[in-house]
């Protein structure tokens, strides 16, 4: 994962547009459908999905920050639970830290905009 994989994933939308000469919206729509399916029907036993949910402090992410975590979902109750204690190497931890910093900065900018608009 530390090679070209990450940059390939980051640029996938542009590549889809270039290759298909069409928007990458269908990929986003498919991802949204998969997400809603998992949320509604739940995850299979022993499987988890990534979902943006409020942090409970897991993996060093401050509580309350909306962050993508591995979660399991109970199809009957529609309740999700963050998967605990996955082993992360230093590379994964560094990527989480970078993403956390970006999300905190975006959150702070959004809050400033709301304050400026008297919201």
Q: What is the pLDDT of residue 83?
A: 98
Among 2-6, 17-21, 28-32, the range with the most confident prediction by mean pLDDT is 28-32
Mean pLDDT of 13-36: 77
Of 30, 1, 35, the C-alpha closest to 13 is 30
42 vs 47: CA distance, rounded Å: 10
Has residue 10 got a pLDDT over 70? no
Q: What is the pLDDT of residue 99?
A: 95
Has residue 16 got a pLDDT over 70? no
Among left, alpha and beta (phi > 0; psi -120 to 50; other), residue 45 is: beta
Mean pLDDT of 15-31: 74
Q: What is the pLDDT of residue 88?
A: 95
pLDDT tens for each residue of 48-69: 999 999 999 999 999 999 999 9
> Are the CB atoms for 42 and 51 separated by under 8 Å?
no
Q: What is the pLDDT of residue 29?
A: 87
Does this model's pTM top 0.85?
no
């Amino acid at each position: 994962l530390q090679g070209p994989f990450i940059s390939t994933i980051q640029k996938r939308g542009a590549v889809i547009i270039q290759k298909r000469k069409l928007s990458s919206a269908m990929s986003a729509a498919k991802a949204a459908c998969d997400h809603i399916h998992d949320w509604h029907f739940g995850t299979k036993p022993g499987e988890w999905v990534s979902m943006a949910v409020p942090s409970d402090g897991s993996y060093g992410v401050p509580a309350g920050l909306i962050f993508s975590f591995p979660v399991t979902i109970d199809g009957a109750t529609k309740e999700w639970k963050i998967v605990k204690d996955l082993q992360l190497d230093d590379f994964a931890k560094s990527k989480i830290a970078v993403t956390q910093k970006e999300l905190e900065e975006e959150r702070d900018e959004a809050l400033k905009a709301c304050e400026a608009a008297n919201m």
